[in-house]
Amino acid sequence: MNKILEIKDLAKYFSDFTAVHSIDFFVEEGGFFSILGPSGCGKTTLLRMISGFEEESKGDIIIRGESMKGIPPEKRPVNIVFQNLALFPMMNVEKNVAFGLKRLKISNDEIDSRVKEMLARVGLEGYEKKKVTELSGGQRQRVAIARSLVLKPSILLLDEPLGALDRKLREHMKIELKLLQKEIGTTFIYITHDQSEALVMSDKVAVMNKGRFEQIDTPQNLYKNPKTSFVAGFVGESNPFEIVSYDNGVMVTTNGWKLEKQGLDYTPKKLFIRPEAFILNPIVDLENLDVVDMKINTILFDGANTKISAKIVESNDVVLISLPQNAQFEDLKEGDIVKVGIHQDDLKCYKE
């Protein structure tokens, strides 16, 4: 494992406000590492410290074994793509991509060669003379990435680069970015508040909250095994519940729903259940399966992502239940009482 970036005890203070609290982590070379968190959690401040645009209050940033203390942004082996892309509208595609190379005082032949190669790698071969104002949003995105990658940075930093795109283009660009990173091999560090972007594209994701990392893990483990209540509620869709008591392996929600969860050595305060964890009309003799009656409030049709909103008969709790993609739900209707099972292993419980 080759660590291209190491962050050691890094913190940032603004007067009496702490934006980043003494964090430690590393990024492997050639990986796609995302920092995911809500607005104001400190992720952009962290990115600015790595890039050198913000000075750390304490700690160290080490890239390829070298401390970045006192090294200005232009001397660091990183480049950054911003949400607004910061392309030059008066320049064509070729000149935008070549802009940084010209400042390095290398030969025109080498500049032309590197620009042509990079445009081909991002799928823009033949677009050299086009104005950036004539390009689609996705094409402009690729120009911005090409302009950064042509400088051969050790790390490419991306600060919410898909935020300004419409939903359909954003979905397309998630796939393009992932494939591009794999093909080129440059280490990407990606900042986003969009969990879907982080989960789809990343090898590792750090979930950030109030200046701290709550969990660093693979997308699969973040989703299946969230370590904190914040991660459970922020990553993916969940049904949250407050627990008011836990006795003899039975939890009771605020509204009186009783669920069995054996083996906890603490009193849970919060419970999260994924919509897809619920089983409609389950085989009732399955081990560790709780079965309750639920009344269907409404069916939320969304193609393969269709869900049911249902009220638990024994309480006032309302849950969202995902239907399997091949489910036949034509016979289901509002007001129906259905049996729903939930396995104890799918009850994610937390102290706070």
Q: Check residue 284 and give its pLDDT.
A: 67
Q: Check residue 203 and give its pLDDT.
A: 95
> How many other CB atoms sit within 10 Å of the CB of residue 206?
24
Lowest pLDDT segment from 174-178, 191-195, 208-212, 218-222: 174-178
Determine the average pLDDT of the residues in 54-60. 96
With the C-alpha atoms ordered 206, 207, 212, 217, is the resulting torsion angle positive or negative? negative
> How many other CB atoms sit within 10 Å of the CB of residue 179?
12
Determine the average pLDDT of the residues in 233-251. 94
171, with CB counted inside 10 A (0-12, 13-18, 19+), is middle
CA–CA dist 203, 169 (Å, integer): 22
With the C-alpha atoms ordered 282, 285, 288, 293, is the resulting torsion angle positive or negative? positive
Q: Which two tokens stand for residue 78?
A: 């990183």
For 176-201, write each residue's pLDDT tens digit. 888 889 888 999 999 999 998 999 99
CA–CA dist 181, 179 (Å, integer): 6
- Start-to-end Cα distance in the chain: 35
Q: Is the pLDDT of residue 102 over 90?
A: no
The helix/strand/coil state of 160 is coil
Total-model pTM = 0.89
3-state helix, strand and coil shares in percent for the chain, rounded to the nearest 5: 30, 35, 40
Contact yes or no for 145/171 (Cβ under 8 A): no
Q: How long is the chain? A: 352
Residue 76: pLDDT band (50, 70, 90) is very high
Q: Check residue 184 and give its pLDDT.
A: 86
Q: Is the pLDDT of residue 61 over 80?
A: yes
pLDDT higher for 70 or 169?
70
Q: Is the pLDDT of residue 4 over 70?
A: yes
- DSSP code for 69: T
Domains and CATH numbers, the chain: 3-233 (3.40.50.300), 237-350 (2.40.50.140)
Residue 243: closest CA among 256, 262, 233: 256
Determine the average pLDDT of the residues in 308-327. 88
CA–CA dist 270, 352 (Å, integer): 6
Q: Check residue 243 and give its pLDDT.
A: 96
